[in-house]
Amino acid sequence: MKYEKSQIYSALQEVQATVGKENLIEAGHVRNIQIFGDEIELDVISMNPTLQAKKKLEVSILKAIHDHAYPKVKVKVNVIVPEEAKQLASAQQQIRGEAIPGVKNIIAVASGKGGVGKSTVTANLAVALAKMGFKVGLVDADIHGPSMPIMFDVTNEKPGNIEVDGKQMMDPVENYGVKMLSIGFFAGVDQAVVWRGPMATKALTQLIRDAHWGDLDFMLIDLPPGTGDIHLSLVQAVPVTGAVVVSTPQQIALADARKGVAMFKMDAINVPVLGIVENMSYFTPDELPDNKYYIFGEAGAKRLTAELNVPFLGEIPLVQSVREAADVGRPAVLQETTPVAQAFVEMARRVVEEVVDRNDNLPPTEATRITTMAGCSPKKEKTS
């Protein structure tokens, strides 16, 4: 079949440019349409440097060409981000608050709905990253129910004080290779529940900024469920590298996860969504390890990622040992050889991949970036 450039141009008029109201052709964002046998290749400009925007643009172009010109043709899209678009995004990041010296990547872990296992996933992600050799810090900002001290078996510890450049700072507690601060250390679980608005925000900012974290590859922030004040405060207080959203496959959890993703994508917030983790994907009894029971529905979060065009970061089974491990303060990923531990390690690998991808495609949070998967092979268990 012979393909006509004019047909391709008219199909691309159906796709909106990444800024303004014009379509791609009106905006002059399509360059170098080339036809090689049964393949069309073209360059397109994206004024939005985020990975999501670029992927969305690519998908829209494929769809437009298939729907309005040639249904079966192979299409290769090269998305180009001009330097000024990168600089603009960088400037937008600056007004968000200063980076934290020594902290390379800040990852917010969120869920729309409570009780879907956000804190469990965060704790296991933190330990998995530490086992891979990364320097990891964890901020438990879940003011409604800080659970990290229990999950890390440090309920009887208190963060120390340390003088840094003449200033008194909190010294995070450490276990399993993860430095950690929790609102629970200061307020006690019962008090923390009543914290709201400015008080919660102030506490969160102090946990992040008034602590001596040292050099970290990753700072994970376990947010309260939902989409509230504290989420907005966080993105104003620090430049968040990306967000991980946790959901179960259940419809009501997915509806809230969708809201969570939408919140991070809002123009005013504009935090790249690294992807969605599906927790409690299926139940597997210990005595029948090959049996999978999809008690909350099957692959719901996976479908949602396809629909929202965000990465799928993995599925974690519902296993009794995960709950037991959380309760005794030894995250399940430390079990090493169990399938659920491997699922957590695989999820951590996917998160690192997405961070690398994001840092390659967006202005960095700081000058030093993680741009390699080196160090991603699990090393020997490190416990304290």
Residue ranges at the known binding site for ATP = 112-119
**Coil vs helix vs strand at 110:** strand
Q: Residue 235 or residue 318: which is nearer to ligand ATP going by CB?
A: 318
Q: Residue 118 or residue 131: which is nearer to ligand ATP going by CB?
A: 118
CB 97 within 8 A of CB 238: yes
CB 282 within 8 A of CB 295: yes
CB 274 within 8 A of CB 155: no
Quick count: other Cβ atoms within 10 Å of Cβ 168? 10
Q: How near is the Cβ of 324 to ligand ATP at its closest, in Å?
A: 8
Rounded to a whole number, what is the largest CA-CA distance in the chain? 74
The packing angle between helices 118-131 and 320-328, to 10°, is 80
Handedness of CA 233, 140, 124, 382 (dihedral sign): positive
Mention every residue, 6+ apart, whose C-beta is less than 8 A from residue 46: 18, 29, 53, 54, 57, 79, 80, 81, 85
Kindly list the strands in the beta sheet with 74-80, ordered across the sheet, starting from the edge strand earlier in the chain.
30-36, 39-45, 74-80
Q: Residue 123 or residue 170: which is nearer to ligand ATP going by CB?
A: 123
Handedness of CA 279, 204, 145, 253 (dihedral sign): negative
Q: Residue 40 or residue 345: which is nearer to ligand ATP going by CB?
A: 345
Q: How near is the Cβ of 101 to ligand ATP at its closest, in Å?
A: 29
**Coil vs helix vs strand at 86:** helix
Q: Residue 115 or residue 160: which is nearer to ligand ATP going by CB?
A: 115
Sequence letter at residue 94 = Q
**Coil vs helix vs strand at 319:** coil
Q: Which residues are annotated as a binding site?
A: 112-119
Q: Residue 116 or residue 276: which is nearer to ligand ATP going by CB?
A: 116
Token duo for residue 270:
């504009």
CB 92 within 8 A of CB 59: no
Q: How near is the Cβ of 347 to ligand ATP at its closest, in Å?
A: 11
What long-range pairs does 338-342 form, CB within 8 A, spacing at least 24? 339/284, 339/289, 340/316
- Residues near ligand ATP (CB under 6 A) are 111, 114-120, 142, 145, 147, 225, 279-280, 316, 318-319, 322-323, 326
H or E element: which one contains 23? Answer: none
Q: Residue 93 or residue 279: which is nearer to ligand ATP going by CB?
A: 279
Q: Residue 177 or residue 184: which is nearer to ligand ATP going by CB?
A: 184
